[in-house]
Amino acid sequence: MRRLTLALDAMGGDFGPAVTVPAALQALVSYPQLELLLVGNPAAIHSLLVKTDSVLLERLTVIPAESVITSDAKPSQAIRASRGTSMRVALELIRDGRAQACVSAGNTGALMGLAKLVLKPLDGIERPALMVVLPHKKQGKTVVLDLGANVACDGAMLAQFAVMGSVMAEHIVGVTNPRVALLNIGEEETKGLDPIQHAAVLLRDVQSINYIGYLEANELLTGKTDVLVCDGFVGNVTLKTMEGVIRVFLSLLKSSGESGRQGWLMQWVKRWMKRRLMRQFGQLNPDQYNGACLIGLRGTVIKSHGAANQRAFTAAIEQAMQAVERQIPERIAARLDAVLPKSD
């Protein structure tokens, strides 16, 4: 069995070690090939390990880090003062070859900036992209990127995202010859911004990418594509719009002090509806889905939701394992090398 070592930013997220340490232990129990480096305040981490089986502890190492980047810190300032923080040390463990991937629930902007700084982009990639896998109503999944790593993108960058997304859809979602679309405000060729039109021209020439054209944002959940590519500004707005609408819908399903016979029925109806929604679209609920993947770097970085609970943080660890096992960075590098001219 091949060993697999991940670095965890134990201090990141709203709950820090209280969530990350139990999640780490849960993952160690489930996956005997897993080895974890917990980066953070040793006292805080050790206090949560007192009752842990010593056999499990053999696969767990605490790496001391003096400080933490808070979730409300300004990314640029946080990055300048990042030396010795749990997030940065965790990323440096990948750079130094001690870990194969890293998981953090910390400050998103700082994580993206630091990851770019500490781990270098793959050859052929100008900038890494943040990616999520969304469920769609045909029971499949759609890879969506970029979600905010790059506010402005040129056509070459969008084409690189398309290649990376295609590799992810093939090796993470398991789709053969995945369809790739560019997010635009209409389906005609002349629609939208210049970078999108330029990316379309580039992608039409790439034989190994199943480019299907433009899709509009109302097709996000309809399963018309396996990969949807956009710049980070638009991706962020799209995902947050979706989150906002879903939160409003779920808030309608909260019980609101109904009483008596009819009240009981109302509560039952709301619970039923909520279960139904959760079953099909639970992963769209920002409290439930977890693990955006920063791809395009020499090493895998998983961004867990800051509010992740133990189960959700374990899911992010599993996502990191999957990315390592399926050799995502290597496959992206190989595909890029084969298909895309370097952008100028």
Q: Which residues of this chain interact with a second copy, rule CB under 8 A?
A: 74, 76, 109, 137, 148, 151-152, 183, 185-186, 188, 190, 192-193, 216-222, 230, 232-234, 236-249, 251-252, 269, 272-273, 276-277, 280-281, 284
Residues 6+ apart with CB under 8 A from 256: none
Least spacing, CB of residue 246 vs a second copy, in Å: 7
Nearest to 139 by CA among 279, 321, 293, 331: 279
Residues whose CB falls within 8 Å of the CB of residue 236, separated by 6 or more in sequence, listed in order: 147, 148
Nearer CB in complex with a second copy: 47/280:
280
Kindly report each contact of residues 204-209 with a partner whose C-beta sits within 8 Å and lies 24 or more positions away, as own/partner.
206/159, 206/163, 206/339, 206/340, 207/339, 208/335, 208/338, 208/339, 209/162, 209/163, 209/166, 209/180, 209/339
Residue 26 vs 197, nearer CB to a second copy: 197
Across-strand partners of 141?
135
Inter-CA distances, 268 with 94, 103, 225, Å: 49, 38, 36
Instruction: Indicate the residue among 63 and 284 with the shorter CB distance to a second copy.
Output: 284
Dihedral sign, Cα of residue 236, residue 242, residue 248, residue 254: negative
Nearest distance from residue 71's CB to a second copy, in Å?
12
CB of 117 to a second copy, least distance (A): 18
Return d(Cα 53, Cα 160) in angstroms, integer.
45
Closest to a second copy by CB, 76 vs 208, is 76
CB nearer to a second copy: give 270 or 331.
Answer: 270
Nearest CB to a second copy, comparing residues 98 and 247: 247
Closest separation in Å from C-beta 55 to a second copy: 44
The SS3 call for residue 227 is: strand
Cite the DSSP H helix spans in the chain: 17-30, 42-46, 54-57, 75-80, 86-95, 108-118, 155-168, 194-204, 232-252, 260-281, 310-325, 328-339
- Quick check: 342 and 124 in contact, CB under 8 A? yes
Nearer to a second copy, 226 or 318 (CB): 226
β-strands 101-104, 300-303: how paired? parallel
Residue 306 C-beta: closest distance to a second copy, Å? 14
Cβ closer to a second copy: 264 or 272? 272
How many Cα atoms within 13 Å fall on the side-chain side of residue 75? Answer: 13
Q: How far is the CB of 138 from a second copy (least distance, A)?
A: 11
Q: How far is the CB of 234 from a second copy (least distance, A)?
A: 6
Shortest Å distance, C-beta 239 to a second copy: 8
Non-local CB neighbours of 46 within 8 Å, separated by 6+ positions? 62
